[in-house]
A and B are shown apart, each in its own frame.
Chain A
Amino acid sequence: MRYKFLTAAFAATVALNFAGPAAATDLEVTHWWTSGGEAAAVAELAKAFDATGNHWVDGAIAGSGGTARPIMISRITGGDPMGATQFNHGRQAEELVQAGLMRDLTDIATKDKWTEIVRPKSLLDSCTIDGKIYCVPVNIHSWQWLWLSSEAFQKAGVPMPKDWNEFVAAAPALEKAGIIPLAVGGQPWQASGAFDVLLAAVGGTDAFLKVYKEKDAKFAGGPEIAKVFKAADDARKMAKNTNVQDWNQATNLVITGKAGGQIMGDWAQGEFQVAGKTAGKDYACLPGLGLNEVIATGGDAFYFPLLKDADKSKAQEVLAETLLDPKTQVAFNLKKGSLPVRGDVDLNTANDCMKKGLAILAKGAVIPWTDQLLSQDSQKQKEDLFSEFFAKPDMTLEEAQKRFADIIASAD
């Protein structure tokens, strides 16, 4: 029955297209970039695509990936696919690809030699399923950042910390000055992401991979990970007065000096930029929490649903090429605060924090991120656990760690 509906929907779009003028092709692109910095960045993509003679129809879905992805997926499976859509590359769209609903981009990739220009290589690997390429990575986003507010530390009269341990030590002074030491918003993914960052920073790269890549449940329940839970307990105590939901509201607490710091991905940088703050002066950033300087190569990518309409399919190819164009890459990533996916672009205008990120990238200190390693199902269970852990001060570390090990044991 679904297929009947699919064909009917296709027929409808085709009929509509014949009726309309056949000049510029409209291509609807869905994404969840709606905060100030993100919207400015996506406008750059739209501008570049419109310059090719096509028309970018913006399909922004508010409320971050958790809200947007179900809508995108149900549109694709329900037979009303958009022209292109954002996902975090990795395993979010895996089943859509396996069901044959997504377009194979291998031809374009070979023609434009993506394997040579995309760096690090692991990005393209997470777009590849059974040897075929299904997505265009547009940026590298890493979670491993601690953003600190100069204003807050000045007010509290303590020096700016250089790593996580110093930050924890400075927490009582911040609290005394009426400042929330660590801002963690109420959305479940924020608590879960903060824990993953702590795991990579406090536990180290090997521990991170052992838990999430090898899914070693015994190790996850062991003494090394207990240290990470101890750090998470510190974070929980420091965050207990954050009464906000969204991540950008939490970032705003840091921008305005109401909170000392926030563990958040580099997309937070776009917010600092929109607020007119300067890296190194108004705010500082510590990649890997200052303990273990690695960055994860998560990020955003565009996937192209399989369409029957020839014009739109052609426009999809143009969009795929535009996204990887060096000029687009620079313009987009500067606004977004993320790192470009190609190594041969000029980023002189990048600020302090982005330069730190680029240097780490050049050293090759990269790790895969949980989006690539775990299924959405396991991710959700992890989110449930950590949002409970952060909101419930009386949940013991032993109980939390035991449940964490259980999730890892059944993870896929």
Chain B
Amino acid sequence: MSNSERPNQLFRNLNAKIASIPMILTALVVFVGGTAWTVLYSFTNSKLLPRLSFVGLDQYHRLWSTSRWLVSIENLLIYGAISLVFSLVIGFLLAALLDQKIRFEDTFRTIFLYPFALSFIVTGLVWQWLLNPDFGVQRVVRDLGWTSFSFDPLYNSSIVIYGISIAALWQGTGLIMCLMLAGLRGIDEDIWKAARVDGIPAWKTYLFIIIPMMRPVFITTLVIIAAGIVKVYDLVVAQTSGGPGIASEVPAKYVYDYMFFAQNLGQGFAASTMMLLSVVIVIVPWAYLEFGGKKRG
């Protein structure tokens, strides 16, 4: 009988299976195939055109002894920490405030989400002007009378990455707020009523009851933010093009510059493989928490 059951399994939901074939092929060829190809060629000395002459780990040795790559990694860590912490905290606070059944909630939500409609390039240009000492914030404050006021993060090597983070937060926090708001709306009214009956203050309810209940929303948000951090590129290009000097370089820009400007594919591939590795480090624990947990339960 098991023989006749097999085809049944295979042909069940046949339409759905046929419909998903293009996506399966895309995923296999483009994502998996492209990734494998890149990793393979990162062990070669390919210059302008890819060629299979292996040099072992040479590209990686060179990568990790290049000061520009090290600066890029350091910037990514600072930028990552800032956008992770601040967009979660600010996003959640805004959502909690909007959740107080205030008037004009729709208007506020639109205002907060609006920056997300702009691309990183536009965001970068706007903030480049705002932070330019000759036209932007510094000029305005000086015109008001504080002539010694100085605020030029994009022209100061030691704080330029914070200037970039400001623009990223302005752009991305609205989306996080919306995700959080959806999470808050998903909490049953009865929980709040029960907490009020027990006399628990609102901040304690949020901290010990609501936030633990919103765990799935938090994890999804975390993954969205983390992916945005690793791939940051256009914002930097629009705001500073990596300058002053190499002070605001990021890994994605290193990959692009070495693949196309320096005509050194091998080096670019090695750098992008390192980026992939960092994404894997983020994704694997998430997948474990998200899917591994359910099977146990």
Contacts and interface: CB of A to CB of B under 8 A. Distances in A.
B245 A392 contact: yes
A73 B260 contact: yes
B243 interface: yes
A410 B49 CA distance: 20
A377 B264 contact: yes
Given A245-B241, A377-B47, A377-B263, A388 B67 contact: yes
Given A245-B241, A390-B245, A95 B48 contact: yes
Interface string B231-251: 000000000010111110000
A90 to B, nearest CB: 13
Interface string A50-87: 00000000000000001001100110010000000000
Interface in B122-164: 133-134, 155, 157
Interface string A373-395: 00111011100100111111000
Contacts, number: 75
What is the predominant secondary structure among interface residues of chain A facing chain B?
helix
A186 B241 contact: yes
B291 interface: no
B244 A391 contact: yes
Given A77-B49, A377-B47, A387-B243, A392 B157 contact: yes
Contacts of B66: 381, 384
Contacts of B157: 391-392
Interface residues of A, number: 30
A403 B67 CA distance: 10
Given A243-B155, A392-B157, A379 B262 contact: yes
Interface string A90-117: 0010111001000000000000000000
Contacts of A375: 47, 263
A278 to B, nearest CB: 30
A380 B254 CA distance: 11
Interface in A184-203: 186-187
B155 A381 contact: no
A388 B262 contact: no
Contacts of A379: 262
Interface in B83-123: none
Contacts of B62: 410
Nearest to A243: B155
A73 B157 CA distance: 33
B48 A73 contact: yes
A355 to B, nearest CB: 36
Contacts of A410: 62
Contacts of B261: 66, 69-70, 376, 380
Contacts of A390: 245
Interface string A386-409: 011111100000000001000000
B172 to A, nearest CB: 26
B258 interface: yes
B74 interface: no
A243 B244 CA distance: 9
Nearest to B133: A243
B49 A387 contact: no
B245 A389 contact: yes
A92 B47 CA distance: 11
A381 B68 CA distance: 9
B169 to A, nearest CB: 25
Given A66-B261, A392-B157, A384 B246 contact: yes
Contacts of A380: 257-258, 261-262, 264
Q: Can you list the 8 inter-chain pairs with the closest CB atoms, starting with the nearest?
A: A391-B245, A70-B260, A380-B262, A391-B244, A95-B48, A388-B245, A376-B263, A377-B264
7 contacts: A69-B261, A73-B260, A74-B260, A95-B48, A377-B264, A380-B264, A391-B247
